[in-house]
């Protein structure tokens, strides 16, 4: 048995919550990172509720298999290639979706993420965790903005849903992590805290982006402000398989082992970890700027509405630095 893999916990809360939701027929829901983990559970659940599911995944056999599994269940699922470690791929995915979804996108779930990866630069020059977890989602959301506005105009509402983490807690957001400093952000030397600081910064960025986007919609797109909701969730300690990928990517130091072990010894199932992001995506009671997840630090449990965690100075810095990082002069085109 690998050091990071505990006995898989049973699901406690998810099925009853899913049963309480209305059907999602007539909606198109796009989800990044849905070959496994919470993204895959979310994709299947949205499909079972009647939505058309667009699976935005890096091209791979795993991505094809995940799509085929949903199709075998009789669900409406399509695969759009999207490598979040390459801005050009994100732009191609946006263009493809504009062709495939002229009726608009009702929900964009920015779910994909990597955790505890070494201090590496993407081909674009940015930290691999920050680009994957935040910057490419920022670019994707901008590229799909016309489709979100189309859905909101025609069907009364659209949503952008970001997926953060309990690891967001820590130092305030530092602009250095949002710049082309990949490979120069703390390294992986003893005791190995650098990889986890980079992860913390990226997951904090997910939450601050939610608030910043809502504020900029209100200021720059007032006609959409009441119709496009920006929401966020965190999964709590979840046995999603992401920890195994961290180990494979080199997270084998004593500190890495402790972080993974301490998370998974309290973990709930992948389904229960999906509770928060499903609330943000599909719950009719969810409101703009809502943040969902288990209460408490590092504790498993049902997702609930959490208090806002605003830092408006950091939010505005994130907005400006993200525009520069992805090469945009205006988010809304």
pLDDT of residue 4: 45
Q: Determine, yes or no, domain membership for 331.
A: no
Give the span between the Cα atoms of 179 and 172, in whole angstroms: 16
Question: Is the Cβ–Cβ distance between 113 and 163 less than 8 Å?
Answer: yes
How far from 282 is each of 24, 43, 237, 243, CA to CA, in Å? 8, 12, 22, 27
pLDDT of residue 241: 57
Q: Determine, yes or no, domain membership for 219.
A: yes
Q: Determine, yes or no, domain membership for 2.
A: no
Q: Determine, yes or no, domain membership for 8.
A: no
Judge whether 199 counts as a catalytic residue. yes
Q: How many domains in the chain?
A: 1
The sign one gets for the Cα dihedral 230, 290, 200, 213 is positive
Q: Determine, yes or no, domain membership for 256.
A: yes
Nearest to 277 by CA among 74, 97, 107: 107
Q: Determine, yes or no, domain membership for 7.
A: no
Domain with residue 250: its CATH number is 3.40.50.720
Domain holding 294, by residue range, is: 14-326
User: Which one from 17, 87, 199, 211 is the annotated catalytic residue?
Assistant: 199
Q: Determine, yes or no, domain membership for 64.
A: yes
Position of tokens 């799909």? 144
| DSSP codes joined into one string, 320-331 | HHHHHHHT-S-T
pLDDT tens digit at each of 333 positions of the chain: 344 444 568 899 999 999 999 999 999 999 999 999 999 999 999 999 999 999 999 999 999 999 999 999 999 999 999 999 999 999 999 999 999 999 999 999 999 999 999 999 999 999 999 999 999 999 999 999 999 999 999 999 999 999 999 999 999 999 999 999 999 999 987 777 899 999 999 999 999 999 999 999 999 999 999 999 999 999 999 976 554 444 444 445 655 655 565 666 778 999 999 999 999 999 999 999 999 999 988 889 999 999 999 999 999 999 999 999 999 999 998
Q: Determine, yes or no, domain membership for 5.
A: no
pLDDT of residue 247: 41
């Amino acid at each position: 048995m690998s050091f990071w893999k505990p006995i898989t916990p049973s699901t406690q809360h998810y099925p009853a919550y899913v049963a309480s939701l209305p059907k999602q027929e007539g909606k198109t829901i796009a989800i990044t990172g849905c070959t496994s983990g919470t993204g895959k559970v979310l994709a299947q659940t949205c499909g079972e509720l009647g939505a058309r599911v667009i699976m935005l995944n890096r091209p791979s056999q795993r991505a094809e298999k995940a799509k085929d599994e949903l199709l075998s269940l009789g669900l409406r699922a399509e695969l759009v290639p999207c490598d979040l470690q390459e801005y050009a791929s994100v732009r191609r995915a946006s263009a493809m979706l504009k062709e495939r979804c002229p009726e608009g996108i009702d929900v964009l779930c920015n779910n994909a993420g990597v955790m505890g990866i070494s201090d590496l630069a993407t081909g674009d020059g940015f930290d691999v965790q920050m680009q994957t977890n935040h910057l490419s989602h920022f670019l994707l959301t901008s590229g799909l903005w016309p489709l979100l506005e189309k859905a909101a105009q025609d069907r009364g509402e659209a949503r952008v849903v970001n997926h953060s983490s309990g690891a967001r807690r820590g130092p305030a957001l530092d602009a250095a992590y949002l710049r082309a400093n990949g490979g120069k952000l703390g390294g992986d030397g003893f005791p190995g805290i650098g990889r986890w600081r980079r992860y913390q910064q990226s997951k904090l960025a997910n939450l601050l982006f939610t608030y910043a986007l809502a504020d900029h919609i209100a200021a720059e797109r007032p006609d959409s402000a009441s119709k496009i909701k920006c929401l966020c969730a965190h999964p709590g300690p979840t046995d999603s398989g992401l920890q195994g990928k961290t180990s494979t990517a080199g997270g084998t130091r004593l500190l890495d082992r402790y972080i993974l072990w301490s998370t998974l010894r309290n973990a709930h199932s992948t389904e229960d970890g999906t509770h928060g992001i499903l609330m943000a995506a599909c719950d009719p009671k969810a409101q703009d700027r809502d943040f969902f997840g288990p209460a408490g630090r590092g504790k498993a449990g049902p997702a609930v509405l959490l208090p806002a965690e605003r830092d408006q100075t950091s939010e505005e810095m994130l907005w400006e630095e993200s525009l520069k990082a992805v090469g945009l002069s205006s988010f809304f085109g």
